[in-house]
Amino acid sequence: MAASYEYEDGGFQQQPDSAGYDPNFVPDSVKSFVVHLYRHIREKNVYEIHQMYESSFQTLSERMFKETPWPSVDAVAPYVDNDHVFCLLYREMWFRHLYARLSPTLKQRIDSWDNYCSLFQVVLHGVVNMQLPNQWLWDMVDEFVYQFQAFCQYRAKMKNKTAEEIALLKQYDQAWNVYGVLNFLQALVEKSTIIQILEREKEGLEEFTATDGYDYSGGSNVLKVLGYFSMIGLLRVHCLLGDYHTGLKCLRPIDITQQGVYTSVIGSHITTIYHYGFANLMLRRYVDAIQEFNKILLYIYKTKQYHQKSPQYEQILKKNEQMYALLAISLSLCPQVKLVEETVNSQLREKYGEKMARMQRYDDEAFALYDELFSYACPKFITPSAPSFEEPLVNYNQDAYRLQLKLFLYEVKQQQLLAGVRTFLKVYSTISLGKLANYMEVDEPTLRTILMTYKHKTHAVDSDGKITSNADVDFYIDEDMIRVVESKPAKKYGDYFLRQIVKLEGIMTDIDRIKLE
């Protein structure tokens, strides 16, 4: 996953040539690293590439480049036959390391953009004949979107920009331009024909998921898999822009109810579900959000021990916490606790139990909690347009976030009376409007609007216009009587027995294999 999202500008500005760093000095270990990596790439040895990429690069960074960048690409190029594509890949990693550990200057941000342009153009023109690990290809897309987001945040802090920086921003106005970013992702999706590949796969005409996207017949996986991950990149960019509908549309070719290439890399798996869930939360499709958060949180709970040494571990934990916060919000607005698995539920209670109880009250303190959880867990929204350099320079990096927060709290406010009504509906099977109005201390016409609001807000509309009920407690009104229908948890006996049959069969097969002496 990308560099730390917590990264802020303005702190220390590390100059690459300070602190005794010589960009042209290539230590032996780096020499050996690039020579071997280059060889493995030429030999399409995905396993070795993956080892070097995931562990050697981290180890060397940790040992030798904790506070300085790696040697410049020009210095290492002679060891890799000046291979054009390898140099682009090396620079991509070089910048990623710089973003993660140091503070990139504006010039470096622009250079990194240029490098992505060259790299993606090479890929799009089909001259890359490599087989790269999915992890690496995911990191490219992920980092590309991250650097775009970081650039927008950086640019929006206009107040303390120097004249020199402003001149650079004006001169390189195409760098990290939102059209450029979206068009690269879109071009990767289209050029890779990944959508058609996934369609053909459904009909059994092509293999993609079964091979994790790798090409075992001598071809390259780079364009195809980059195109695949770009769909997730588009989902994320659209969420950053507040365009949840379009974001989900970009993801639609991937069936997230199934395992897929997106689950082959933990970072991609989490990013997909985090944004999918968030977008559904904003679209009021709470059940969809709850179900997917539940699944991924359970998955992380069961597998996080295997990622402890991974460079992504911190990010995994961070997103894990954020998704618990989003789950707490979703369940407060739509208390379908039965959709949540027991392990996840007890984690949730531990983290947010007390807050969730207070969120049910819908007083000022409750709103403050919705605000707090949303602000903690939401994506880092961006304003994509360039600032006006003529007007007085103001910071606008918070604008996008504030708008999304405001609209979200507006929605919460519209639902504030629903929790009260829910409490009463739970304890009655029938009750007259007059009586309930009395209990709730409102007049009858107001109660009718509250009940209709309850119905409207608990019914989600999907992208095809189909309406589904998300209500935990449902009712209907017959003239002046409210009749309550509590939706009992649908016990899935069928599914349970089927799974047990398969399990038993497996055990019996195992037993059959045992030969007693």
Partner 1 sequence: MGKEETTQKSQLAVTVEQLIAVNPYNPDILPDLENYVNEQVSTQTYNLDANLCLLRLYQFEPERMSTPIVARILVKALMAMPAPDFSLCLFLIPERVQMEEQFKTLIVLSHYLETARFRQFWDEAAKSRHIVEVVPGFEQAIQAYAVHVLSITYQKVPRAILAEAINIEGLSLDKFLEHQVSNNGWVIEKGQGKGQLITLPCTEFNHPELKKNTADSVQLEHVTRIFPILG
Q: How far is the CB of 415 from partner 1 (least distance, A)?
A: 9
Orientation of helix 134-156 relative to helix 106-124, angle to 10° = 140
Tokens 């949540």 -> residue? 340
Q: Does 252 bind partner 1 (CB under 8 A)?
A: no
Q: Does 398 bind partner 1 (CB under 8 A)?
A: no
In the complex with partner 1, which residue's Cβ is closer, 12 or 179?
A: 179
Q: Does 391 bind partner 1 (CB under 8 A)?
A: no
The answer to whether the beta carbons of residues 40 and 48 sit under 8 Å apart is: yes
Stretch binding partner 1 (CB under 8 A), from 102-110, 218-226, 245-253, 332-340: 245-253
How far is CA 95 from each of CA 16, 78, 417, rounded to the nearest angstrom?
12, 20, 51
The answer to whether the beta carbons of residues 101 and 16 sit under 8 Å apart is: no
Q: Does 230 bind partner 1 (CB under 8 A)?
A: no
Q: Does 487 bind partner 1 (CB under 8 A)?
A: yes
Burial class (CB in 10 A: 0-12, 13-18, 19+), 488: exposed
Stretch binding partner 1 (CB under 8 A), from 59-67, 131-139, 178-186, 295-303: 178-186
Q: How far is the CB of 241 from partner 1 (least distance, A)?
A: 7
Q: How far is the CB of 286 from partner 1 (least distance, A)?
A: 12
Q: Does 394 bind partner 1 (CB under 8 A)?
A: no
Stretch binding partner 1 (CB under 8 A), from 94-102, 149-157, 207-215, 463-471: 463-471
Q: How far is the CB of 41 from partner 1 (least distance, A)?
A: 32
Site string for partner 1, 282-301 (x = CB under 8 A): xxx-----------------
Q: Does 403 bind partner 1 (CB under 8 A)?
A: yes
The answer to whether the beta carbons of residues 101 and 66 sit under 8 Å apart is: yes
Please report, for the chain, how many H helices and E strands are present, in that order.
Answer: 22, 5
Q: Does 169 bind partner 1 (CB under 8 A)?
A: no
Residues between 360 and 389 with contacts to partner 1, criterion CB under 8 A: 384-385
Among 187, 51, 49, residue whose Cα is nearest residue 119: 187
Q: How far is the CB of 368 from partner 1 (least distance, A)?
A: 21
Q: Which amino acid is at 249?
A: K
Q: Does 511 bind partner 1 (CB under 8 A)?
A: no
How far is CA 292 from each of CA 48, 240, 309, 341, 395, rounded to the nearest angstrom?
34, 20, 26, 11, 36
In the complex with partner 1, which residue's Cβ is closer, 167 or 477?
A: 477
Q: Does 513 bind partner 1 (CB under 8 A)?
A: no
Q: Does 201 bind partner 1 (CB under 8 A)?
A: no
Q: How far is the CB of 80 from partner 1 (least distance, A)?
A: 35
Q: Which two tokens stand for residue 280?
A: 């559904």
Helical H segments across 157-285, by residue range: 163-171, 178-191, 194-202, 222-240, 244-251, 266-282
Among 76, 77, 47, 61, residue whose Cα is nearest residue 3: 61
Site string for partner 1, 423-462 (x = CB under 8 A): ----------------------x--xx-xxx-xxx-x-x-
Q: How far is the CB of 288 from partner 1 (least distance, A)?
A: 13
Helix H or strand E encompassing 114: helix 106-124
Helix H or strand E encompassing 137: helix 134-156
Q: Parallel, antiparallel, or unpaired for β 459-461 and 467-469?
A: antiparallel
In the complex with partner 1, which residue's Cβ is closer, 309 or 491?
A: 491
Q: Select the residue interacting with partner 1 from 36, 42, 50, 249 (CB under 8 A).
A: 249
The per-residue b/e assignment along 435-474, b for 16 or more CB within 10 angstroms, e otherwise, is ebbeebebeeeebeebbebbbebbebeeeeeeeeebbbbb
In the complex with partner 1, which residue's Cβ is closer, 357 or 403?
A: 403
Which residues make up the interface to partner 1 (CB under 8 A)? 178-179, 182-183, 186, 241-246, 249, 282-284, 384-385, 399, 402-404, 406-407, 410-411, 414, 445, 448-449, 451-453, 455-457, 459, 461, 465, 467, 469, 474-480, 485, 487, 490-495, 498, 501-502, 505
